Chain A
């Protein structure tokens, strides 16, 4: 079962985005899905001198996984941080190098296949009724709708048959004053509303949203300094900015603030007033982005910032306008952990699969903003990050073995819907290409922000797949780089609300 207590103190976006603490205790009879976890232990990592065969295997590894690289530096000073990191690395290395496989079926390169059926089965199980101890997710059920629908879509499953059930399920969550709460009778909240709107989009159910009331409610959370609060009376942070602008753009709500919006008294007239500047204030001395001005740089907030800026204008315009792009690029590059190949959320924290999306999703947006652009034909560097390393981390370390699989933060943790969804999205960022069409209009005639609709996706070439050691059958669907939805769903929503009237 998902959301069990994690064994390491690494925090992830499920506290940040989900509005909930992890479930602290679970009855042990919920754990039967994992009894096969430890069934395969095919080798002891690094026993003595390598044999000839192992030396050959070593040479076959990418440079960052070879002993020479791993042994280059050693920690001069042991602290709590180095202890935790050493443990994570020790858990991952045998899986990354293929010394241990946990019984997962391997592709022709010796890397596990993507266990599609297993992950789909896991996500389906997350839509069943949860037992009473899961009351801790009572304020974040909309996320389960989104994680499952988005995750299944990324695996290539058509989820439209869920439409009627999902529409019925979320009806009591919609408030007459606009927006969705985490459950029946709960205050409307930016995170819950974002998750509900996205989940409804995947199943074609957005007709049920009261757009006019939504517009009024969003007017109540827009702040005079340009940012957004998560709910009336709640904290202001950068998730609010990304969630609100996503909702406004997908549903084509007027950019004009409602007449009763309190930010009007500070002279603001539009949802985008002072917004880019506010996002810019969240960049820290490290180059990364904090949840609010002066807070520590964090990968999840980097994605919220870049995606928000990529909604309000073309990324190559808005990102360099409001952020120090080279400093952010340097910070993002440093988040890919050596030797695991996944991403960490903050400086000197542990690798975690959810950042495969939160940091991994930044590259599409950043690469479109860089000059010279790595995707331009005259640039000799095609990527600024390491796709092969992320793919290897996800396939070797983050797939839970067993029939009802699911994906996990790292080997010492258990799978949950959150990590499954964002691992698959991260895999999609790594396996596919996304291009921004710089010649397309950024405003429609009616005034809708169009920049986020100007993306196209492209499949990797056979040569690239060989380089990444991926087989074609393990490539997942393309995921929209701003809205984190299937590309076709975004095309549909763009047309559905072309006419922005209420």
Chain B
């Protein structure tokens, strides 16, 4: 006998056991008795559309056993908002409690992503972002590239208008720690360009600042493509001619016999040259260098870039 079937508080519920799908189901799971029972009570309360304190407790039990169970999370959110208290104060209190419980669950299950959607629903209802930035930073201490946490962070910035509340400095800190953290670069782009109605890098001052930022990062690690992509993105969106970057890129591309310090510089140099009057042949030379020596694994791609420029290809790759 299980926890629920023995509990007089649940005596009014007739559990709905699992339909296994025939006598010989594929990829079945030999559920523990505890999980099977709890699920059978969940099915029953969902069928009756019951939203109550005891259902909240039931969903917590299930999430402890299986945090990847999206249905339980979605139903828990519905319950929480239905029974969260009679007064505004009570509602706030219950949402705060929910967040505290979520903090532990999120730290225990780093890769789980249902948690983040749920957290978004809760914080949205709560209407306060207090403590959230700090909590998210705790998550990034463990994995600074967690896709769902970054997605949540973007939502926070948008929902609570945090564009100028330290976000830029935050990305600077993370990029300072690991210049190859592309998630942090993407967030920086979002903070600079994502605000509705903002000019982003189309504003000259912002553009200059961002170009400078990218160039510094490239100087520290020329082989890191994050910085190069960011620089190219800023130039494109900001309406700069790529030619304005030529002197900088040239330091790393070694076209005039200097040292090639980054294949990404050669790639960008080929783009810059192709935009110059009469520069296509020279662009082709940069692409040949990539193909033959500096990035041979992408040989076919570099060859195709020459085709895009209308230059003759060297024939089928050997």
* Closest partner residue, chain A, to B65 (CB atom): A135
Q: Given the complex of chains A and B, what is the CA–CA distance between A127 and B236 in angstroms?
A: 50
- How far is the CB of B13 from the nearest CB of chain A, in Å? 14
- How far is the CB of B185 from the nearest CB of chain A, in Å? 8
Q: Which residues of B contact A334 (CB under 8 A)?
A: 225, 298
- How far is the CB of B151 from the nearest CB of chain A, in Å? 5
**B178 and A79 within 8 A (CB):** yes
Q: Count of A residues near B, CB < 8 Å?
A: 100
Q: In this assembly, does B77 line the interface, its C-beta being within 8 Å of a C-beta of chain A? A: yes
Q: Which residues of A contact B267 (CB under 8 A)?
A: 330
**B32 and A467 within 8 A (CB):** no
- How far is the CB of B155 from the nearest CB of chain A, in Å? 10
Q: In this assembly, does A22 line the interface, its C-beta being within 8 Å of a C-beta of chain B? A: yes
- How far is the CB of A6 from the nearest CB of chain B, in Å? 9
Q: In this assembly, does B20 line the interface, its C-beta being within 8 Å of a C-beta of chain A? A: yes
A22-B111, A285-B189 as given contacts; A81 in contact with B178, CB under 8 Å: yes
Q: In this assembly, does A77 line the interface, its C-beta being within 8 Å of a C-beta of chain B? A: yes
- How far is the CB of A370 from the nearest CB of chain B, in Å? 8
Within 8 A of A (CB), among B287-318: 293-301, 303-304, 307-308, 312-318
Q: Given the complex of chains A and B, what is the CA–CA distance between A391 and B295 in angstroms?
A: 18
Q: Given the complex of chains A and B, what is the CA–CA distance between A171 and B21 in angstroms?
A: 6
Q: In this assembly, does A117 line the interface, its C-beta being within 8 Å of a C-beta of chain B? A: no
**A135 and B154 within 8 A (CB):** no
Stretch of A43-51, A136-144, A214-222 contacting B (4+ beta carbons < 8 Å)? A136-144
Binary contact track B166-192/A, C-beta < 8 Å → 1, others 0: 000000000001111111011001100
**A333 and B26 within 8 A (CB):** no
Binary contact track B9-44/A, C-beta < 8 Å → 1, others 0: 000000010111110111111111001000100110
Q: In this assembly, does A374 line the interface, its C-beta being within 8 Å of a C-beta of chain B? A: yes
Q: Which residues of A contact B143 (CB under 8 A)?
A: 9
Stretch of A182-190, A443-451, A485-493 contacting B (4+ beta carbons < 8 Å)? A182-190
Q: Given the complex of chains A and B, what is the CA–CA distance between A285 and B77 in angstroms?
A: 35
Q: In this assembly, does A462 line the interface, its C-beta being within 8 Å of a C-beta of chain B? A: no
**B297 and A296 within 8 A (CB):** no
**A139 and B70 within 8 A (CB):** yes
**A16 and B186 within 8 A (CB):** no
Within 8 A of A (CB), among B27-80: 27-32, 35, 39, 42-43, 46, 65-71, 74, 77-78
**A126 and B27 within 8 A (CB):** yes
Q: Which residues of A contact B237 (CB under 8 A)?
A: 285
Q: In this assembly, does A295 line the interface, its C-beta being within 8 Å of a C-beta of chain B? A: yes
Q: Which residues of B contact A181 (CB under 8 A)?
A: 71
Q: Which residues of B contact A473 (CB under 8 A)?
A: none
* Closest partner residue, chain A, to B114 (CB atom): A19
Binary contact track B182-214/A, C-beta < 8 Å → 1, others 0: 110110011001100000000000000000000
A15-B113, A135-B32, A139-B71 as given contacts; A384 in contact with B300, CB under 8 Å: yes
Q: A291-B151, A334-B298 are in contact. List 18 more A-B contacts (CB 8 A).
A: A11-B111, A11-B146, A72-B294, A75-B223, A126-B27, A134-B29, A136-B67, A138-B29, A138-B31, A139-B71, A171-B22, A184-B43, A290-B186, A294-B190, A295-B186, A296-B150, A346-B183, A348-B225
B binding-site residues for A, Cβ under 8 Å = 16, 18-22, 24-32, 35, 39, 42-43, 46, 65-71, 74, 77-78, 109-114, 117, 143-147, 150-151, 154, 177-183, 185-186, 189-190, 193-194, 220-226, 229-230, 233-234, 236-237, 261-263, 267, 293-301, 303-304, 307-308, 312-318
A binding-site residues for B, Cβ under 8 Å = 9, 11, 15-16, 19-22, 24, 62-64, 69, 72-73, 75-77, 79-82, 126-132, 134-141, 144-145, 148, 162, 165-166, 168-173, 181-187, 189, 231-235, 284-287, 290-292, 294-298, 326, 329-330, 333-334, 336, 338-339, 341, 346-349, 370, 372, 374, 379-386, 389, 467
- The 9 listed contacts between A and B (C-beta, < 8 Å) are A63-B296, A64-B296, A76-B220, A130-B30, A285-B189, A295-B150, A348-B225, A380-B316, A381-B300
Instruction: Give 6 nearest A-B pairs by CB, closest first.
Output: A168-B22, A285-B233, A20-B68, A172-B19, A81-B180, A380-B313
